[in-house]
Amino acid sequence: MGAEPIEKVSIIVSKGSFDGIYPGLIMANGARMEGIEADLFFTFFGLDAVNKARNESVKVASVGNPGLHVATWLGGFPGMSAVVTRKFAKRMDDLDFPSIPEFIEMIHDSGAGLYACKASVDLFELERDDLIDEIDDVITVGEFYEKAAGGQIIFT
């Protein structure tokens, strides 16, 4: 007896770093390419991905990031985050990865839903106009759960 295929995913993007945003975008894009319904819910610092003032300047978190395989103190050096971000951005450009704004536009155009968390929007004193046009709505956690009903929830 085989497992039931996944038909719907709801992905929560909660981190505002380069390495915190891209996994959710990759998962959503992969879902849409497989014909799986996908929604993205941007909360807390994940709002940086959809904040007009911040989405083009997201950086890799270099302090305490075990995936970088450098000492925590080294990651805290001034400019280290910018250096690491440039390195990753160059490598991703070589692999033809889209930028965060381009990726979000592609995912939106593929039919995925993009939602901002109302509590986080309020917390950071943002308005709907501060968010990119691709955001479908600013919703509560309860509304997110309604949209996620019957599917898988992925937290990145």
| Residue listed under structure tokens 């949209």 | 147
Q: Is CATH 3.40.50.150 correct for 9-57+99-155?
A: no
Q: Which pTM does this prediction carry?
A: 0.89
Task: Tell me what pLDDT residue 82 has.
Answer: 77
For the chain, domain boundaries: 9-57+99-155
Q: Which residues of 2-34 are buried (b: 16+ CB within 10 A; e: fewer)?
A: eeeeeebbbbbbbbbbbbbbbebbebbbebbee
Task: Tell me what pLDDT residue 129 has.
Answer: 97
- Per-10-residue mean pLDDT of the chain, 156 residues long, equals 88 93 96 98 97 89 70 67 79 89 97 98 97 98 97 93
